[in-house]
Every structure is written in C-alpha cells, then in structure tokens.
Amino acid sequence: MNRHQLASMYRLEYNNVSDARIRTQLRKRGLPDTPEEFQRNREFLDKVKSGEFQYHQDDITLIGSAGQLAADLIEYFTARAWWVYDTPPILLTCDEPVIPVSGHGPARAIRGGLATAGVVLHPLSPSRLLVVFHPLLRPLGPPVLDHHETIDINREILANTHRWAFDQPKRRFAEKMPVPPLPPKTLLPEGPLQWDGEGDLYRYTKQTRWASCPNPPWWPVERWWNRLPRDTFPLPPIEIAGTPLK
C-alpha cells in the first residue's frame, strides 16, 4: 500500500467520526475525557478529513513493505508462463518498466493488477521483451514480434511511463508517439463494497493515461488475445484488495 492509498484509507476511516465515538476512544485508551483533549482530537480528525494531515511512512518501513509485497506476488508469477520475445531493435523502456496489460473487458482507463493481468511486460533490451502470461492464456505464434507489434508494445511502454521514457541514442521514436497525459487523480477509491466480513471494504483502482482518451487503442499484439471474445476474459474472479474499517 503506497502513501496515497494510506492517506485515502485514513480519510475514509475517519470521515464521519461522531463526538460520541471520540469520547469512547479516549476512554478506551486511558486518556482524559476533557474538553481540551476532545477538541485536540476533533481538530486532528478534521485535518485528516480535509487532507491537511497526510500519513507518511519512513523509507525503511516502505522498503520493508515492498519486500513483503514482492514475497506475496511470487505465487502469482510462478504460476505464469515466461516468454522472451525477439523484436526489431526499436524497443523503448521507461521509469515504470513493469507493465501489466489487462486484456479483458473495455477498461483501458483502469490499470490491471499484477495478479489478474493477461500479460505483464518488461523490456530487457532494445530487441528483447519479457512477456509473462496469465495461466489461462495460450499465446499463438512464435516468440517473435514484427515491426507493427513492437510499435504496439512501445505504445504500452510510453502509456505506463510516469515521467521518463528511454530511447536509443540518435533515435527519437518516443517523441513521435504521443500518449495522453497522466490523469490528475491516478488512484480512485471505490466503495464501500458488499462483502461477508466486518466493517466497510474499499477497492483502489489506478487510472491510466487512456482515462482521458475517448477511443483508446486495442490491447497490444492481437494474436495474444484472439482466442477470446473481445468483451470478456475468462479469468477467475478478481480478488478485491481493500481495507476493513472498524
């Protein structure tokens, strides 16, 4: 969970805290239920609600969280098929080179998750591309991309860029393929959602650059998906990653 999600989670959890709940929490924590202590907590919650207060993890905690997340993702990647594709020597890379491509439904505006994406791309060199396929996908054709398919992949790489794209010296391919700007709000909370547990459940979705594009391009390398209907993808139900709020 990144800083933006943590801040959003705190706003959701403390959005409508009543005065009675504040006093109950003060008593549970052994704090004095005085007007001064009550007002201090009320002002703090108001700052959380308005966004004036932001929760920040220190770098060591963030690194530890990233390590735990990587361990949790191992099971998703070990079940996938790993292919290295040869491409014409025009492949780009960027500052966000691990690129999940959903491949299911029309939701180009929403970034796919690493667990459920049809493919996960990672450029290895100007002429080599790692493609990690979902277990339910069976890619057609040899592990070679032609010029047009590589251009499709370059478009995905540029669309996944946060700020920087990297091209070979003397090439200006990245400048010749414009993509929409990043949306002003990349993370969107959705909920509360219905579920069988306690509390409220929220899902966070990340918008892509295609969110502002009325006619986004089709998923790259059509032969990866052509055994499937264009409006569906027979994946298992998507697990909702949310935060139970008390």
pLDDT tens figures, 82-108: 999 999 999 999 999 999 998 876 578
| Average confidence score pLDDT of the chain | 76
pTM to 2 decimal places: 0.65
More confident residue, 84 or 197: 84
Q: In whole angstroms, how far apart are CA 61 and each of 64, 71, 243?
A: 5, 15, 19
Local confidence band at 201 (pLDDT 50, 70, 90 cut-offs) = low
Per the CB < 8 A criterion, the answer to whether 130 and 225 are in contact is no
Local confidence band at 243 (pLDDT 50, 70, 90 cut-offs) = very low
- Whether the per-residue pLDDT at 188 is higher than 80: the answer is no
Per the CB < 8 A criterion, the answer to whether 159 and 208 are in contact is yes
* Helices and strands counted in the chain (H then E): 6, 8
- Whether the per-residue pLDDT at 182 is higher than 80: the answer is yes
More confident residue, 60 or 83: 83
More confident residue, 42 or 157: 157
For residue 12, the one-letter residue type is: L
Q: Is the dihedral of CA 192, 196, 199, 201 positive or negative?
A: negative
- Residues contacting 126, CB < 8 A, separation 6+: 89, 90, 91, 168
pLDDT at residue number 89: 94
**Element of type H or E holding 176:** helix 173-176
Lowest mean pLDDT among 2-6, 169-173, 182-186, 199-203: 2-6
